[in-house]
């Protein structure tokens, strides 16, 4: 196994051991999805996003490709493609960085400190500079939509069944035999844009 392959494997294991939910795309370790939660004490707190990560053959000498799968309203993220404008990933990447750095430092910093003067989403940048409260409200609404998109797989069924029997999704979820391996999903709780 070559050095880049070992490093890829080691970084991926380190990411999984840091309590990130990782979903592999295929048998290789070059493409996967990571569940990313918005940083605490930010307007993105409580949001959940699915982030696609592609590791090039030359990783860690070449940066990973990072993109949001579900929509996020942010000046430095293209709303349609999910592409991220993050200098440390795009230009100043170093083999000293790893995947945990991406999810614990780089992406949280991007959400905490948007740069509206170098936007991928011009509308979000303009709104942020012109009307900060309206921008924050739009982020919160988008956060709820993104959370629903991430948890839609499986959670929709719980909500429908729970509603049909008059149970709130939260109490019905605890009665599901998930521990027996029959289900592998989480219920999605209602999200309010004013959170």
Residue 100 forms part of a structural domain = yes
Higher-pLDDT residue of 51 and 4 is 51
Residue 157 forms part of a structural domain = no
Higher-pLDDT residue of 67 and 91 is 67
- Catalytic annotation on 191? no
Residue 160 forms part of a structural domain = no
Angle at 14 (CA atoms; ends 110, 28), nearest 5 degrees: 95
Query: What is the model's pLDDT at position 142?
Result: 87
Residue pair 24/32 in contact (Cβ under 8 Å)? The answer is: yes
- For the chain, how many structural domains are there in total? 1
How far apart are the two ends of the chain, measured CA to CA in Å? 48
Question: What is the C-alpha to C-alpha distance for residues 95 and 98, in angstroms, rounded to an integer?
Answer: 7
Range of the domain at 79: 3-128
Query: What is the model's pLDDT at position 181?
Result: 35
Residue 75 forms part of a structural domain = yes
CATH number, domain with residue 52: 3.10.110.10
pTM: 0.73
Say which of 85, 111, 124, 125 is annotated catalytic.
85
Residue 121 forms part of a structural domain = yes
Residue 91 forms part of a structural domain = yes
Max avg pLDDT among 25-29, 77-81, 131-135: 131-135
Residue 102 forms part of a structural domain = yes
User: 23 falls in which pLDDT band (50, 70, 90)?
Assistant: very high
**pLDDT per position as a tens digit, 85-131:** 877 677 889 999 999 999 999 999 999 999 999 899 999 999 999 99
């Amino acid at each position: 196994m070559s050095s880049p392959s070992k490093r890829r494997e080691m970084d991926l294991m380190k990411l999984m051991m840091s309590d990130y939910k990782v979903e592999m795309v295929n048998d290789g370790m070059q493409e996967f999805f990571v569940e990313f939660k918005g940083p605490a004490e930010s307007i993105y707190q409580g949001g959940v996003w699915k982030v696609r990560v592609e590791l090039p053959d030359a990783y860690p000498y070449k940066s990973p490709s990072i993109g949001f799968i579900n929509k996020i309203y942010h000046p430095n993220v293209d709303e349609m493609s999910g592409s991220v404008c993050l200098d440390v990933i795009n230009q100043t990447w170093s083999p000293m960085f790893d995947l945990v750095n991406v999810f614990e430092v780089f992406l949280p910093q991007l959400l905490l400190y948007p740069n509206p003067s170098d936007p991928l989403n011009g509308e979000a940048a303009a709104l942020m500079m012109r009307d900060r409260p309206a921008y924050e409200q739009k982020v919160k609404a988008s956060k709820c939509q993104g959370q629903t998109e991430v948890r839609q797989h499986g959670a929709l069924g719980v909500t429908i069944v729970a509603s049909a029997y008059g149970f709130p999704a939260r109490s019905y979820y605890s009665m599901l035999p998930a521990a027996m391996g029959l289900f592998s999903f989480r219920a999605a709780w209602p999200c309010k844009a004013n959170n």
